[in-house]
Structure 1
Amino acid sequence: MTDASPLARLADAVGILPEYVDQTGERHTTGDESRRALLAALGHDAPDDDAARALLDELAHERRTRLLARVRVARADEGEVVELTLGGHGGREAEWRVEITYEGGGARVEEGRTRVEHDGSLAVVLAPPDEARLGYHTVRATARVDGATLAGEQRLIVVPPRCPDPASLLRAQRVFGVTANLYTVRSARNWGVGDLSDLATLLEYAAGTGAAFVGVNPLHALRNAEGDVSPYSPVSRLYRNPLYLDVEAVPEFASAGLDETAHGPELRRLRDADLVDYDAVMALKMPALETLHRVFRARRRTKRRADYAAWVEREGQALESFARFRALDEHFRAGGAGWWREWPDEFRDARSGAVEAFAREHEERVDLHRWLQFELDRQLAEAARRGRVAGMPIGLYQDLAIGTSPAGSDVWAQPELFVTGVSVGAPPDPLGPEGQNWGLPPLHPAAMRADGYRYWAALLRNAMRHSGALRLDHVLGLFRQFWIPEGMSGAEGAYVRFPTDDLLGVLALEATRAGALVVGEDLGTVPPEVPPTLARWGVLSSKVLYFEREEGGRFRPPRRYPRGALATANTHDLAPLAGWWHGRDVALRREVGLLRDEAAHDDALRERACDRAALLALLVDEGLLDDDEANRDPDAVSEIDVRAAVHALLRRSPSWLVGLSLDDLVGETEPVNMPGVGQDKYPCWRRRLSLSLEQLATDAPARRALGADRAWVP
């Protein structure tokens, strides 16, 4: 580090990186103004060097005098080791006592007298590797040295050395699956948006083609109104979206006296629409769900009521806070408040007496939101069960978004975990010279540690429930995140370090308990330490055909894809194959203003022509298209042939998982999302499939694109 100023040293001490290298190879240095803004957001106000020196001294004093770190993540193959810190007592004799209380019950106590290392450290081995227990344990320790007695408590998390191994879970067989945006799914029976019964049908359909999994977009809770519909900017990452409930599959529906035909014209409109109308769908579903909830509450002595009570108790305060937030949000939005920071002061604190009183006064409404989550969990479990019964070795493959909306319940309920005054985003690049501001408040690394990683563990546990695999959106965020101070541009942002091995260790523990594979979305500029670290922890990489290139722009042959990966043609932020082949995404970029002028548009078209020729050459070289003159001309090649050939190409790769997009099976041309584009310019997250589930099973082009007429070579 060349800049040794107190401000720079303080920034480095709390994890603000001094520089980064962008996609073009240019090095960017973090400026002092950005440092001060980020430090202030992290709770370290350093307007000058004297203040920075004082804060550095405080941090050093904290490290020296805290007997136990608040949390420690230890790998089981290292044993149960407790590290004590006795700063200022190096080389002295210390009497110590350490007690560990295990998550599953039982305890262990060790006592002794040991010379403290010269750096003030003292390590106590409670159990060797062959005796270490996985889980979340509590350590209490005391130490007496030089007449002083120190005490401390720690959350010790003992984790496996890696996530579950695909070779073991898949019995050494490579597999493929179908990836889908559930809200886009069209069926003859849903209410204008894909629901959990559609998901069950899709799982069964995919299983019948030999698929091992169905991957879906994040199912996190959204507001479903006013354009607030991105699954990657949720109200909560802990709980799910009632939009996906199949009203008619709720057990109380049969006896509730609800009549679907009463909504006939509106239902037909929603089913026929090309775009999901979130507001209108929820305007139909919520009154019906409210009726079903009243029927549920009226039946007091049933097994379902007992199951509900047990589920609510298990979910605890997190569910209660979420349900209260949803009821409060409805109440204040009806009065014109936009988000929770516009509520009256007494309601901005989730633990306030005013919130308690509101929950008592609106008990039925709060219970409705608890019950909706209970029913979502039940319907998701049923979909996953049908996938397993159909023979899927993985089944449901869920997605965890990188962040949560600042206007959401997670931030309201636990504000101490989130950083205000900054947003997560991406630095400037050739496609976005101003950078990207995602508007998501980052988690505070130090607060996560102080919390014992409880929130992180709960996110993972809920996301893996009923799943055989989990995708982590923007997994680079477990290494570092690009933070943009409020009021500054993306060019003034900086990267902030995260406790990588701790977060990956908790991930490995939760994945092991769930028996789930983990895939990290590691696209973009990837620092050199990321791939080996993910591989060491057993996290599969993401390999996207569009980006897998070699020298000269040639597409990478499938044999050169890594084994430890999920291979796909594209992602939710990219054009479907048919749209890419026809250049529809280039035209859209011009329509929404992402291309500066006609010259930029012409350059993009020329680049796409080169890309099409390069892809065609690979498909011919691989024998997936006939080597004749017609197939050397991209304009003469059928887009259906290209889709089928690309999927066959991906399925030749050695990668453990291959994901075939439902959009590509159907032949969609429009993307579901255009990053950085608002709803006023493009209907992001709303485009529906052109084929229904009923049509999908017999559609010849879809079967061909799937490769149903080709042998799957494991």
Structure 2
Amino acid sequence: MRDVQLARAAEQYGVATTYEDWRGRQVPVSPDTIRHVLSALGVDPKNPARAPGRGPLPPAVVVREGKAPDLVLPEGARSTVETADGSLLPFDPGLPLGVHTLRVTDNGAEHDAPLLVVPDRIEPSALRENPRLWGLMAQIYSVRSRASWGTGDLRDLSELADWSARDLGADFTLINPVHATEPLTPVEPSPYLPVSRRYASPLYIRVEDVPEYARLDPAQREGIQRLARPLRERGRTADLLDRDAVWEAKRTALEILFQVPRAPGREAALRRYQEREGQPLVEFATWSALAEVHGSDFRTWPARLREVSALAVGREALNLWPRVEFHRWLQWILDEQLAQAQESALNSGMSVGIVHDLAIGVQAGGADAWMYGDALVPGLHVGVPPDEFNQLGQDWGQPPWNPTRLAQLGYGPLHQILSQSLRHAGGLRMDHVMGMFRLWCVPEGASADQGTYLRFDHEGMVGTLALAAHHADAVIVGEDLGTVEPWVREHLAGRGIFGTSVLWFENDTEGDPLIPDQWRRDCLATVATHDLPPVASYLSAEHVELRDRLGLLNRPVAEELADSEARVAQWCELLVYLGLLEEDADPVGDPAAVVAAMHAYLAATPARMLGVALTDVVGERRMQNQPGTSTEYPNWRIPLTSSEGEPVLVDELLADPRMVARIRRTLGPIGGQSRNM
């Protein structure tokens, strides 16, 4: 880059001027992109200030447990640590885990910074006590039952987890993010584009499991059931999911239940929950109430309401207090049902239970962006650069964290989100875990390939994750697919954070499939992910034809088809060689045989965790999500169906002997022993 001053500013603030693409080529970043990113961070590219900090201190100090601090203070400076409980300790090894405050006196001036003491490595008990863990992976909104209201809910999750543990010996159930959605329709269908990651979506509430439902008189219960019946009827078809209809009906029913007088014990439990959640819950509920009046993008609200701390916001919250209370109550109900799902999973014999999924970000105008303010960067969108499967790149429309401001806050917003996600979970999948190191940031209005990487202090980010996981005794799985610097995977492995290995991507330097013992050990091994086609679709190359129809290919469809067929042939050849697949097996005519062989292959790897997609065991062919599309494809609206396109309901799944036999065949050596007595 010829502009030396711009390059220095970029380096100072962690903005990449070049990057390596998926083919291993060095790609220069345009100066305009760099200027846009710096400006969004509040930096004048022509006159950047020195690196932000607090006198002799950086924005935050991060120390691994038992390790000596590597921060060098000026000669003569005095330091002390005020711990989270108010104790004063020297700045030495042996500090307790937690978020503290480092205070430094230098030349008569007082300085302070957050001090994070974090685990060097997490060692969750489930991994200490079990040589291998396995579980089903499901988009829970798509897993319906006769009783759910047209989309899967937390009772359906409980029943799926209970059955897979008792009958199949599963250790966990990994689900999509259940983050908060808009309080009014239309509801964003993507679970990876929420309004808040700290709180959950009431779409997942099972209305009849709210205890106050039993206190309704028969006429009131019948009124609620009239809301549910048409949704249940639609839920027994393969029609696309209609979240808007579901939420309209559920919101009406929940508003009725909110008005039911609570028993004294229930009222006390609600108050305890509200006290524990404190101000953040009030802020989230206030955003929800304001969004019902002004829309779900706070950037379009009256100017006086766009700052969470504004006096006008407090006055408006008082005016809307019944709605604020309703949204606080909804989160309490969700907290109860999330707890019940995890309790059910553990009581069924699972060693981990529910593994939740944390999206990489939130909507730019949503609740978290409003609540966390300048901890996020407006004007930038998180995404990914072009790669083999998404050749145009991706723009997810989500603002990134501001690296400096997040550190100055002691990574508090991130820690709150992580702790809440782990409150009723045995594990957490971190979508796009590379975001703890760097994020691909696209200036608003630019195409997805016109971005650059923004770096974070990974010691602070990963340390915060390790601290939350340690307190929850949770398994952490990072989704580290795509373009990843090798040292990133090494760092995560060293901290006890598992990676993700996907069969289709596990190739050697020549592009040939790896033999099983060449896979890494500390990972979640799967055949595919929610962003890839189900195996049946992959084997028939339907996914290539789909991407061609949607205009997502950068080269002739014939070349893509040839590559896809060659890849399938390579894998089938290896499976035959390993004795896992019959030589005359037809991957298109009998995809179930290949699916079973692929899972037997996974079982032969050293991977400590194995994930089996529910879509693959029932024969689903449709993708849940086609990256690079929005309205062109019905992303996140596909109900679970069989290979024949018939709906698969969770209660029927458990009772259908043919389906159970198919599942057992698919699982093969992965499935454990039944825990039924």
> TM-score, normalization: structure 2?
0.93
Deviation at 1:362, TM superposition (A): 1.5
Q: Does 1:461 align with 2:419?
A: yes
Partner of 2:50: 59
Partner of 2:576: 620
Amino acid in the other structure paired with 1:163: I
How far apart are the structure 2 equivalents of 1:133 and 1:432?
45
How far apart are the structure 2 equivalents of 1:341 and 1:524?
33
Q: Percent identity?
A: 37
Conserved in 2, the CA contact under 8 Å of 1:665 and 1:703?
Answer: no
How far apart are the structure 1 equivalents of 2:612 and 2:478?
17
How far apart are the structure 2 equivalents of 1:212 and 1:236?
28
How far apart are the structure 2 equivalents of 1:102 and 1:150?
21
SS in 1 for 2:556: helix
How far apart are the structure 2 equivalents of 1:394 and 1:165?
10
SS in 1 for 2:640: coil
Q: Does 1:156 align with 2:119?
A: no
Conserved in 2, the CA contact under 8 Å of 1:71 and 1:155?
Answer: yes
Q: Does 1:661 align with 2:661?
A: no
Deviation at 1:353, TM superposition (A): 2.0
Partner of 1:327: 289
Deviations, residues 640-676 of structure 1 (Å, cap 9, x unaligned): 1112221222122110100000111111000100011
Partner of 1:39: 38
Q: CA-atom RMSD, angstroms?
A: 2.2
Deviation at 1:555, TM superposition (A): 2.1
Partner of 1:21: 20
Partner of 2:226: 262
Q: 1:435 to 1:560 in 2, by over 3 A?
A: same
Conserved in 1, the CA contact under 8 Å of 2:298 and 2:306?
Answer: yes
Deviation at 1:21, TM superposition (A): 1.1
Partner of 1:77: 66
How far apart are the structure 2 equivalents of 1:225 and 1:362?
19
Deviation at 1:706, TM superposition (A): 4.1
Q: Does 1:228 align with 2:188?
A: yes
Partner of 1:284: 249
Conserved in 2, the CA contact under 8 Å of 1:644 and 1:705?
Answer: no
Q: 1:670 to 1:712 in 2, by over 3 A?
A: closer
Q: 1:373 aligns with which of 321, 325, 331?
A: 331
How far apart are the structure 1 equivalents of 2:663 and 2:235?
25
How far apart are the structure 1 equivalents of 2:271 and 2:81?
32
Conserved in 2, the CA contact under 8 Å of 1:553 and 1:614?
Answer: no
Q: 1:410 to 1:263 in 2, by over 3 A?
A: closer
SS in 1 for 2:208: helix
Q: 1:275 aligns with which of 240, 245, 249?
A: 240
Partner of 1:199: 157
How far apart are the structure 2 equivalents of 1:642 and 1:433?
28
Conserved in 2, the CA contact under 8 Å of 1:644 and 1:706?
Answer: no
How far apart are the structure 2 equivalents of 1:45 and 1:138?
30
Moved over 6 A (4+): none
Q: 1:227 to 1:221 in 2, by over 3 A?
A: closer
Q: Where does 1:120-269 land on structure 2 (aligned, <5 Å)? A: 126-128=91-93, 131-143=94-106, 148-165=107-124, 169-208=127-166, 209-223=168-182, 225-226=185-186, 228-257=188-217, 258-259=221-222, 260-263=224-227, 265-269=229-233
Deviation at 1:165, TM superposition (A): 5.0
Q: State the number of aligned residues.
A: 658
How far apart are the structure 2 equivalents of 1:709 and 1:23?
33
Q: Does 1:412 align with 2:365?
A: no
Deviations, residues 30-79 of structure 1 (Å, cap 9, x unaligned): 23222221111111123xxxx33xx2xx316x65x714334211101215
Deviation at 1:701, TM superposition (A): 4.5
Partner of 2:320: 362
Amino acid in the other structure paired with 1:103: A
Q: 1:689 aligns with which of 637, 640, 654?
A: 640
How far apart are the structure 2 equivalents of 1:604 and 1:6?
43
Conserved in 2, the CA contact under 8 Å of 1:578 and 1:664?
Answer: yes
Deviation at 1:246, TM superposition (A): 0.3
Conserved in 1, the CA contact under 8 Å of 2:170 and 2:671?
Answer: no
Conserved in 1, the CA contact under 8 Å of 2:146 and 2:232?
Answer: no
Deviations, residues 601-644 of structure 1 (Å, cap 9, x unaligned): 222222222122112112212212234xx23x545x51111122
> TM-score, normalization: structure 1?
0.88
How far apart are the structure 1 equivalents of 2:596 and 2:246?
35
SS in 2 for 1:490: coil
SS in 1 for 2:524: strand
Conserved in 2, the CA contact under 8 Å of 1:68 and 1:84?
Answer: no
Conserved in 1, the CA contact under 8 Å of 2:387 and 2:482?
Answer: no
Amino acid in the other structure paired with 2:605: S
Conserved in 2, the CA contact under 8 Å of 1:164 and 1:508?
Answer: no
Q: 1:95 to 1:179 in 2, by over 3 A?
A: closer
How far apart are the structure 2 equivalents of 1:275 and 1:95?
65
Moved more, 152-161 or 204-213: 152-161
Deviation at 1:400, TM superposition (A): 0.5
5+ long unaligned stretches in structure 2: 642-647, 673-677
Q: 1:170 to 1:180 in 2, by over 3 A?
A: farther
Q: 1:706 to 1:443 in 2, by over 3 A?
A: farther
Deviation at 1:188, TM superposition (A): 0.8
Deviation at 1:15, TM superposition (A): 0.5
How far apart are the structure 2 equivalents of 1:595 and 1:491?
15
How far apart are the structure 1 equivalents of 2:234 and 2:291?
26
Amino acid in the other structure paired with 1:78: K
SS in 1 for 2:604: coil
How far apart are the structure 2 equivalents of 1:453 and 1:267?
42
Conserved in 2, the CA contact under 8 Å of 1:644 and 1:704?
Answer: no
Conserved in 2, the CA contact under 8 Å of 1:67 and 1:151?
Answer: no
Deviation at 1:434, TM superposition (A): 3.9
Amino acid in the other structure paired with 1:315: E
Deviation at 1:18, TM superposition (A): 2.0
Q: Where does 1:449-488 land on structure 2 (aligned, <5 Å)? A: 449-488=407-446
Conserved in 1, the CA contact under 8 Å of 2:617 and 2:666?
Answer: no
Amino acid in the other structure paired with 2:170: A
Q: 1:264 to 1:222 in 2, by over 3 A?
A: closer
